[in-house]
Amino acid sequence: MKKTGIIVSIFTLVLLGLSSCTEKSNANTEHETLRREPVRVSILGEEEITRTVEYTATMEAFNTVHMAPTSPGRVEEIYVEMGDKVKKDQVLVRMNDAQLNQAIIQLNNLEADYYRLDTLKQYGSIAQQQYDQLKAQYEVAKENVDFLSKNTTLKAPFNGIVSHKYFEAGEMYSGSPNSTAGKAAVLSVIETNRLKAIVNVSEQFMRNIKNGMEVSVRFDVYPGEIFSGKVFRISPIINNQSRSFEIEISVNNTHGKLRPGMFGRVTIDMESTNALVLPSHAVLKMQGSNVRYLFTEDNGTAKRIEVTPGQRFNDKIEIISKELKVGDHIITEGQSRLIDGDLVDVIQ
């Protein structure tokens, strides 16, 4: 009997010990389950935003003219140097005028014959055919003199700057291509009071681009400064390789800050639309990937949702997700400590 009593006592102690361990385990589990992470939330709202696209571009002179006579000849005088500012119709180059002088002599002779025959015609002393032939020769000679006069003396086509000088006085102009553009020229003159940028725009924005629409242009050499531009030409053709089309943008440069060849960033406002916008720091990035996600709070539980970021507006960002809607509680503080399904305590 004593032996049996001892066994019962030991068994009872074991049961009591197991019961005590179970209670402690349950208490610990309950404690862990009830622990909540403190977080702050923001109500997801919808705002009207203007979608923009940015393209890079190299600025070009608005107009470029490679000045050259129509035929080879000796360069007699060049009155400007590279970098000189010129005004419209200012004489820049004088070519050898031997051909012009010959044409003037021929014109003078024909002019004398023409007026003599004109007098005789009035008295009916010559045939109409003879008069018409001389008149035609006189008109051709007159046009030839005008033509050679314009090409012997080269004048500036607009207010601008001499960008290149390819000859010196006394050299022979051959008519062969020699300019940076692969064209024959004695001088190149550019218009810089306004510049232009040629931008290749994606086909998807074809409906948004209009002539006369305003754009903004930024340059790395002028940080924080915005220059205004305007679309003035749109290509009617879409490139079937790049699926894009060209537009030309004029940029005012009366202040003289910009130079052809400068690198710029063109920003174009496409359309206004409503979008889901929230503080940018609410969005997290999965380490080692491009996956972006955030946490919402629903009845004290954190839910992990993958999102696609859209445009950024200072400290806010547009969010694209089919799982989100206006009014959702987005966790904006404490989210870096969470995993999907964690219990959270929203604090003010």
d(CA 160, CA 64): 9
d(CA 167, CA 266): 37
Measured CA to CA in angstroms, residue 162 lies from 62, 67, 78, 79, 235 at distances of 14, 10, 12, 11, 29
Read out DSSP for 193-230? EEEEEEEEEEGGGTTT--TT-EEEEEETTSTT-EEEEE
Q: State the pLDDT at residue 60.
A: 95
pLDDT category of residue 31 using cuts at 50, 70 and 90: very low
The SS3 of residue 315 is: coil
Q: State the pLDDT at residue 4.
A: 45
Q: Between the ranges 77-86, 98-107, 129-138, where is the mean pLDDT highest?
A: 77-86
Nearest Cα to Cα of residue 71 among 167, 148, 139, 182? 148
d(CA 283, CA 291): 10
- Phi first, then psi: what are they for 235, rounded to 5°? -65, 140
pLDDT category of residue 136 using cuts at 50, 70 and 90: confident
Is the pLDDT score of 192 beyond 80?
yes
pLDDT category of residue 34 using cuts at 50, 70 and 90: low
d(CA 331, CA 348): 12
Q: pLDDT digit string (tens) for 203-228?
A: 988 888 999 999 999 999 999 899 99
Tell me the pairing of strands 344-346 and 37-43.
parallel
d(CA 235, CA 213): 15
Structure tokens at 319: 């969010």
Q: State the pLDDT at residue 33.
A: 53
| Residue 124 backbone zone (phi > 0: left; psi -120 to 50: alpha; other: beta) | left
